[in-house]
Amino acid sequence: MRRASMGKYRNHAIMIAFSLVMMYPVVWWLGASLKKNEEMVSPNIFPSTPMWGNYVDGWTAIPSYSFTHFYMNSFELILGVLFTTIISCSLVAFGFARLDFPLRNFWFSLVLITLMLPGQVTLIPQYSMFHSFGWVNTYLPFIVPHSLAGGTGGSFFIFLLVQFIRGIPKELDEAAKIDGCNWFGIYWRIVMPLTKPALVTVMIYCFLWNWDDFFGHLIYINSVDKYTVQLALRLFIDSQDAMQWGQLLAMSLVSILPAVIIFLLAQKYFVQGIASTGIKG
C-alpha cells in the first residue's frame, strides 16, 4: 500500500516538474512584456521596476487605431466562420451518418482524403478564384468556404461529427418519424441537441485555428482598417523606427487571452466530445 502511494507521489512530482518546464516560456513572456528595451537581454525574468504601461501604450500604439478595433475585426471574422462551420459541417455529417444514398462510402472517403491535402497546394488556385470574384480584402474568402463545409479543418470536423452521430441510437430517428418528423426535423430536433459535446469541440478547434491564423489573413486582407489582431501585431515592426519589444510582447500576450478563456469555459464539453468520438468510432 505504501509502495503504491510512493509511486503516485513520484508520478505527480514528475508531472509537476514537466509542467514547470513547459510554463517557463510563458513566465518569461510575461516578464519580458514588463521590461524596457534595454532590459530585454537581462538574465532576470522579471524587471526590478515593472512597466505596466506597456499594456496601456501598446493598446494604442498603432497610429489612428487601437486594438479594440482589431479585436472587433477578429471577432467579426470568427463569428461568421463559427456559424457557417457549425451549420454546414453538421449537415454534411448528418447526411453521411444517417442517410443512405448511392456511393456514400466513396464520397466519405474523398472527404477523408482531403485531410491529407496540404493547404499550400490549393493556396494559389483559391487566391486566383477569390480575386476574380472581387473578394480580396474582405472576409468572404474565410466565411464562404466554411459555409460549404470547407475551409480550415472542414474535413476533420465532418469526420469528428460523423463518428459522434453514429453513436446516437437510430431508434430515436424511428420514434421521431412516427411522430411526424422529416429528416431535417430529426437533424434539428434530435441529433443537434445530442451532439452538443462534439459541436463544442468543433467550435473550439475552429476558433483556435482561425484566431491564430496569420498567413491566411495576410494573404487576403490588405487594408489596415480590416486587419485582425494577428496582423496588427505585425504593425509594431512597420510603424515604429525603434521597435518597442515590451509593447509588442504585451499585446501578443493579450491576444491569446480569448483563446484561453474559450478553452477554459468549454473544457468540460471539449474533453467529453473527444472521448465520446474516440469510444464510438
Q: Supply the pLDDT for residue 274.
A: 61
Calculate the dihedral angle through the C-alpha atoms of 163, 168, 169, 174, rounding to the nearest 10 degrees: -110
106: confidence class by pLDDT, cuts 50, 70, 90: very high
Separation CA 218–CA 30 (nearest Å): 26
Contact between residue 125 and residue 230 where contact means Cβ atoms under 8 Å apart? no
Q: Supply the pLDDT for residue 279.
A: 42
Q: Supply the pLDDT for residue 130.
A: 94
SS3 (DSSP) at 168: coil
- Least confident among 16-20, 99-103, 114-118: 114-118
Separation CA 112–CA 110 (nearest Å): 5
* Residue matched to cell numbers 431508434: 171
Q: Supply the pLDDT for residue 238.
A: 59
- State in Å, rounded, how far the first CA of the chain is from the last one: 37
Q: Supply the pLDDT for residue 235.
A: 87
281: confidence class by pLDDT, cuts 50, 70, 90: very low
Does 271 score more than 80 pLDDT? no
Average pLDDT estimate for 112-116: 85
Structure confidence by residue, pLDDT tens digits, 205-242 = 899 899 989 999 999 999 999 999 999 998 887 555 56
pTM to 2 decimals? 0.85
Contact between residue 40 and residue 245 where contact means Cβ atoms under 8 Å apart? yes
Structure confidence by residue, pLDDT tens digits, 117-126 = 887 888 899 9
Calculate the dihedral angle through the C-alpha atoms of 164, 166, 169, 171, rounding to the nearest 10 degrees: 140
Structure confidence by residue, pLDDT tens digits, 32-85 = 999 988 888 888 888 888 899 999 999 988 888 999 999 999 999 999 999 999
Separation CA 262–CA 51 (nearest Å): 28
Separation CA 108–CA 103 (nearest Å): 9
